[in-house]
Amino acid sequence: MKLRGILLLCALALPVMADEGMWLFNQFPGNPLKQKYSIEVTGAFLEHLRLSSVRIGGGSGSFVSPSGLIFTNHHVASDCISKVGSAQHDYMKQGFSAAGPQQELPCPDMEANVLVALTDVTPQVKDAAKGETVPAEALQKRRAAIARLEKDCIDKTGNNCAVVKFFSGERYDLYQYRRYTDLRLVFAPEFGIAFFGGDPDNFTYPRFDLDIAFLRAYENGQPASTPQYLAWSAAGVKDAELVFVAGNPATTSRLATASQLAFYRDAQLPLQLARLQTRIAILRQYGALNEDNRRAAERNLFGFSNSSKSLTGKLTGLKDQRLMTRKLAFETKLRKAVENDPKLGPDAAKVWDDVALAYKTWAPLEKPFELLERPAAQGSSLFRIARQLVRLSEERAIANDRRLTEFRDSSRKTLELALYSPAPIDDGLEIVLLTQYFEELKALGEKQAPVNAILQGRTPRQAAEAYVHGSMLKDVAERKRLAADPEALTKSADTMIQLARLVDPPARKLRKKYEDSIESLEASSVERIAQYRFKVLGATDYPDATFTPRVSFGVVKGYRDKTQAPVPYATTFGGLYRRAGKADPYILPARWVEAKAALDPVVPFNFVTTCDITGGNSGSPTVNAKGDIVGIVFDGNIESLPITYLYSEEQARSVHVASQGIVEALKKIYRAGALLKELGQ
């Protein structure tokens, strides 16, 4: 059987082209899209969209003026909004609007990156491990090659350089980013309207959220010159319109095998979900004590709650037998085609068994791995800083091409931005989060974690208090002193440094096991499966999301919910006021109540499309066929969460704020004349 036979069999399992795909900018399916929508997407259109889009914080954004103005979500910028505020100026609660450039507030530790160049470096990476038969060694040699490529790129260009792996290691591209590290807050609405409906409405639709924020990039103390920017659409969004989304989708697992999905369903996701839900309960209890606690907890609480609901949706999807049946059907056909191919045969098809065995063997180690290594003391800023300092000292003594990825020279500026952030750290919040972490370690047991050495006979609460109160790492100057002097770090009596040292040996041991057993699959079995699929689908396929720039397309389109009731493509200002109430989270900010009569009730507020998105796309600009902004991504409906594993456009929708609604609010509620003028409105 030739590869034509494999193609025929696989075609049986694949749907007719839908609005699917988080496409690379240098691999966009222009011809199929033209055939379906009679619209030609040119190279110039894609280049302008790429150079106008930014990766910012944990999400996306775009330049919308020639003077560095960045358009993103309120929840993407919330880290900055909360950190620049205070008890006297609670910008999360009250909102913020800069009267002029002098009033724009510096964000402590945010950066924006624009993809300015990309090069295929697959031969340089794969040839580095050519002939290597031990997967773990092959992986290490590839990593060393990647580190060299990144360092050479940084030295030559001064850009932020990163080698990105696609198709499970079948392809590698070198991405060059222009980095902006001086970002300042320009405008943010009140949290009550940015996240109207709160957690009950999160990942649902219809929605009524003004989830937007504007920041500005500065260079050398002046607003950055950004000639590549997206213009604002005068017409705004329309029903059935073709639109494009540019952003940085974080992670998908559409190329994962059925055994990998079973591992996520049975081991990884339930563990992650349980840890998040416990912390959400703790933060709510802590925040309810007083207003200062509420402010300190709100940033973590929002992030944990959002992640928890997202994981719940993904887990529900993996428990849906229809999804697993479709996945298994495609995998079975591909595997049978490989077995029947005379150049491949049954031995080649055993790679699926190798993957299944590796994940089955690893499953018992997932819990200690998460508790000790990723993410370890979830939510604790002091522990994160201490671990970074301890590992920075150790990794600096190792050749760059053998360091942990996050400590390579290519990651130095990003690491330092986080490590030396002047953002405030709340002792009480640190104590409650560390107490929970120590409870988890205690339950894990002495065999897998240094519980006795950490607790020293104390209760988890007593130990947490001692570690927090005995640390000086809240002081940025102290962090810089320890980072600059390895000997001082070695002799340091700082309690958080001591905690990080206690946790580090077993954590590194588990990380090495993970690399050798799971990540090494990417240099062996998983890569070979990706090769089979890549040979079949070629340029008609797209790689899983990697929090790197992608572009997707779709149409503005309503749907029918699970009761078969029609859901319109857009909500309106009139619908917002009908939805508003007298109890949280449906209380409108005062200025919105006062401005009701001035607003046009039929102006679109939020809308939905079939665009293929996932976490990381928050803040992605939504543009029409002309490349003009008609909205911004801020969420997906609950039906969209399982598309992490398998795309469907039947009910799954991305949710956007409409450009018309943004202009209506800026004009009639916020009186933001200067901002509107800069947007050309």
Report, as an integer, the average pLDDT of 566-589: 97
> Does residue 14 carry a pLDDT above 70?
no
- Give the model's pLDDT for residue 17: 57
- Give the model's pLDDT for residue 539: 62
- Helix, strand or coil, per DSSP, at residue 579: helix
How far apart are alpha carbons 681 and 673 in whole angstroms?
Answer: 9
Q: Angle at the Cα of 536 (from 532 to 538), degrees rounded to 5?
A: 105
State pLDDT tens for residues 588-604: 999 999 999 999 999 99
Count of other CB atoms within 10 angstroms of residue 38: 8
How far apart are alpha carbons 519 and 503 in whole angstroms?
Answer: 22
What lies within 8 Å, CB to CB, of 392 at 6+ separation is 407, 415, 419, 483
From residue 427, alpha-carbon distances to 300, 305, 381, 462 in Å are: 14, 22, 10, 13
In single-letter form, the type of residue at position 441 comes to L
Domains and their CATH numbers in the chain:
5-111+181-254+543-678 (2.40.10.120), 115-180 (no CATH), 350-521 (no CATH)
What does pLDDT average to over the chain?
Answer: 93
> Does residue 535 carry a pLDDT above 80?
no
What lies within 8 Å, CB to CB, of 165 at 6+ separation is 171, 172, 522, 546
DSSP state of 586: S
- Residue closest to 548 by CA, chosen among 290, 138, 96, 161: 161
State pLDDT tens for residues 232-257: 998 999 999 999 999 999 999 988 99
Asked if residues 554 and 654 have their Cβ atoms less than 8 Å apart, the reply is: yes
Q: Which uninterrupted H or E stretch holds 163?
A: strand 160-166
Count of other CB atoms within 10 angstroms of residue 12: 9
- Residue closest to 202 by CA, chosen among 72, 75, 20, 71: 75
- Residue closest to 451 by CA, chosen among 461, 439, 464: 439
How far apart are alpha carbons 185 and 105 in whole angstroms?
Answer: 5
How far apart are alpha carbons 655 and 274 in whole angstroms?
Answer: 27
State pLDDT tens for residues 72-129: 999 999 999 999 988 889 999 999 999 999 999 999 999 999 999 999 999 999 999 9
What lies within 8 Å, CB to CB, of 652 at 6+ separation is 610, 636, 637, 639, 640, 642, 643
Task: Indicate the Cα dihedral angle 556, 112, 201, 433, nearest 10°.
Answer: 160
Asked if residues 283 and 195 have their Cβ atoms less than 8 Å apart, the reply is: no
- Residue closest to 412 by CA, chosen among 217, 420, 76: 420
Number of H helices and E strands in the chain, helices first, is 29, 20
Count of other CB atoms within 10 angstroms of residue 259: 17
How far apart are alpha carbons 304 and 321 in whole angstroms?
Answer: 28
- Helix, strand or coil, per DSSP, at residue 185: strand
What lies within 8 Å, CB to CB, of 122 at 6+ separation is 170, 171, 172, 173
| Strand 621-623, strand 570-572: pairing | unpaired
What lies within 8 Å, CB to CB, of 610 at 6+ separation is 18, 19, 554, 555, 557, 649, 652, 653, 654
- Give the model's pLDDT for residue 1: 36
Asked if residues 420 and 476 have their Cβ atoms less than 8 Å apart, the reply is: yes
- Give the model's pLDDT for residue 528: 83
From residue 323, alpha-carbon distances to 107, 252, 327 in Å are: 42, 15, 6
> Does residue 673 carry a pLDDT above 70?
yes
> Does residue 4 carry a pLDDT above 50?
no
pLDDT band at 3 (very low <50, low <70, confident <90, very high): very low
> Does residue 500 carry a pLDDT above 80?
yes
Report, as an integer, the average pLDDT of 613-639: 97
- Residue closest to 183 by CA, chosen among 254, 81, 272, 112: 112
pLDDT band at 183 (very low <50, low <70, confident <90, very high): very high
Asked if residues 557 and 610 have their Cβ atoms less than 8 Å apart, the reply is: yes
- Helix, strand or coil, per DSSP, at residue 183: strand
- Residue closest to 173 by CA, chosen among 125, 137, 134, 140: 125
CA 374 to centroid of chain Cα atoms? 15
Alpha helix locations (H) across 20-134?
30-37, 43-52, 74-84, 91-94, 122-126
> Does residue 675 carry a pLDDT above 70?
yes
Asked if residues 523 and 139 have their Cβ atoms less than 8 Å apart, the reply is: yes
Q: Angle at the Cα of 417 (from 487 to 474), degrees rounded to 5?
A: 60
How far apart are alpha carbons 631 and 232 in whole angstroms?
Answer: 9
What lies within 8 Å, CB to CB, of 648 at 6+ separation is 642
How far apart are alpha carbons 196 and 194 in whole angstroms?
Answer: 6
| Strand 182-188, strand 171-180: pairing | unpaired
State pLDDT tens for residues 198-219: 999 999 999 999 999 999 999 9
Helix axes 321-340, 291-318, angle to 10 degrees: 50
Token readout for 4 is: 């034509």
How far apart are alpha carbons 366 and 155 in whole angstroms?
Answer: 38
CA 255 to centroid of chain Cα atoms? 18
pLDDT band at 341 (very low <50, low <70, confident <90, very high): confident
pLDDT band at 12 (very low <50, low <70, confident <90, very high): very low
Bridge partners, residue 246, by sequence: 551
User: Is-above-0.85 flag for pTM?
Assistant: yes
Judge if the upstream peptide bond of residue 135 is cis by omega within 30 degrees of 0: no
State pLDDT tens for residues 273-326: 999 999 999 999 999 999 999 999 988 998 899 899 899 989 999 999 888 898
- Give the model's pLDDT for residue 538: 64
Bridge partners, residue 550, by sequence: 247
Query: Which percentage of the chain shows pLDDT scores above 90?
Result: 82
Token readout for 634 is: 């801020």
Asked if residues 186 and 675 have their Cβ atoms less than 8 Å apart, the reply is: yes
